[in-house]
Chains A and B, each alone.
Chain A
Amino acid sequence: MAIVPHPRQIQVAVVNWLDERFPFTKAVDEAMYQRVPNYANAFYYCFGGMVFILVGLQLLTGIFLAFYYVPDAAGNPAAAYTSVKDVIMNQVYLGWLIRGVHFWSANLLVVMIVLHMARVFWTGSYRAPRELNWMVGVVMLLIILLFSLTGYLLPWDTKAYWATSVTIKIGASAPGLGPLIENLLQGGPTLGPNTLQRFFTIHVFILPALIVLLMYIHFRMIRAQGISEPL
């Protein structure tokens, strides 16, 4: 007669096996089981968490979009444009939904960040000893705005092209450094395929790495300092 183990026994065996090699249970306990003070149960303490969830959604939907998006603006219509309009929006199963979630999360993200920062400002949570975390947060705000800026060009439609044209002109109007900034952003003498290649690289390779690193730092500092007490 075969002995069928209880599922619980399998679970215990797996966890024991893992714990003998690395203190996983301890690490999970420390990460998960933290008491939340009563004053932090107010709804406006949730905005930061909502930002975290939205960034997670962005990473997830962004990875899915990258399966079909082609960062190539050469030709007319360009592959970048058709890969969004035809392939992602009309051919891929649920492509419109993945892109829709990416689009709306991006918009909501900025709203939630503003609300989160307003809450932190209102409750005075930026004060000592948490100034450094405020600074990290401001850097993350700038990174999210850079995400928005670079992501806006990627569909390579008329709106994207002219919005970026305006962006580059604003940069190019900087005294002294203007032409250098323009060249650096455009990747050449005019807004074209080189510009899309750059914005794509920044949007997909550089900024996600930075935001994940800074979020980790942000959360570790919150854990170290605790949630600030109300005024």
Chain B
Amino acid sequence: MSRPITRRNFIVWYLAGLLTAVGAAIVAPLLVFIYPPQGQTQTRDVTITLDKAVNDLANTDATKFVSPPETGFVMKDGGGDNAPGKVAFAGYLAKDAAGAVSVFAVNCSHLGCSVAWTPADQLFECPCHGSRFDINGNVVHGPAAYPLSHLEWKQGPSANQIIVTGYTLKGIG
């Protein structure tokens, strides 16, 4: 039942539209206010001291390290529960049979539990649902469907130090 556009009808709709616009102009910035600011996710270098020098680590071995208080590492890649830019609070420096070094985030790509390096099995094992990864981070056993995430790193000032890309996380740890 369409009615002809009268002067009154037009003005009522005009005013209703105006009022809605005013309401939206007040509410929209408040909703943006609630969304957390993204400025605090600037990356920085985090210096880590390992148990042993990178060169002293045997082939087919891995060593764990933890982020210092108020920092977290940034995942470089990753699928499943992991993703580029997500936070990891620990990592593994691993050397494969050929001596190539990789640095992984500790989080399982299934649901983010911390995997543990088991030298006897030569596997990263997840305690939550039994996912397993080889020393190169590839999936050996599900339910994880994606390899372990890598961390951005470089050699630190001394032989047993590495510099890992991370975030400053105020108040955490």
Contact = CB atoms under 8 A, between A and B. Distances in A.
A228 interface: no
Interface in B58-80: 69, 72
B36 A76 contact: no
Interface string A121-147: 000000000000000000000000000
A193 B171 contact: yes
Interface of A: 72-76, 78, 165, 169, 180, 183-184, 186-190, 192-194
Given A188-B40, A193-B170, 4 more contacts: A74-B170, A183-B35, A190-B172, A193-B171
Which of A75, A169, A189, A194 has the largest number of chain B CB atoms within 10 A? A189
Contacts, number: 44
A194 B172 CA distance: 10
B170 A189 contact: no
B171 A192 contact: yes
Contacts of B69: 76
Interface of B: 34-36, 40-41, 69, 72, 81, 85-87, 111-112, 167, 169-173
Interface secondary structure of A, over-half rule: loop
A174 to B, nearest CB: 14
A225 B58 CA distance: 79
Given A183-B35, A186-B36, A193 B167 contact: no
A14 to B, nearest CB: 44
Contacts of A194: 36
Contacts of B86: 189
18 contacts: A73-B171, A74-B170, A74-B172, A75-B171, A76-B69, A76-B173, A183-B35, A184-B34, A184-B36, A186-B36, A187-B36, A189-B41, A189-B72, A189-B86, A189-B87, A189-B167, A192-B171, A193-B172
A75 B35 CA distance: 24
Contacts of A73: 171
A18 B167 CA distance: 63
Given A189-B87, A190-B72, A193-B171, A169 B36 contact: no
A73 B169 CA distance: 12
Nearest to A187: B36
Contacts of B169: 188-190, 192
A156 to B, nearest CB: 12
B173 to A, nearest CB: 7
Contacts of B35: 180, 183-184
Given A73-B171, A74-B171, A190 B87 contact: yes
A79 to B, nearest CB: 10
B172 A192 contact: yes
A73 B41 CA distance: 19
Contacts of B40: 188-189
B68 to A, nearest CB: 12
A183 B32 CA distance: 12
Contacts of B111: 169
Contact of A183 (B36, B87, B167): B36
A223 to B, nearest CB: 31
A162 B145 CA distance: 23
B2 to A, nearest CB: 30
A169 B171 contact: no
Nearest to B74: A189
A88 B81 CA distance: 37
A169 B172 contact: no
B172 to A, nearest CB: 5
A186 B72 CA distance: 15
Contacts of A192: 169, 171-172
Kindly list the 3 A-B residue pairs having the minimum CB-CB distance in the complex, ordered from nearest.
Answer: A74-B171, A193-B171, A190-B87
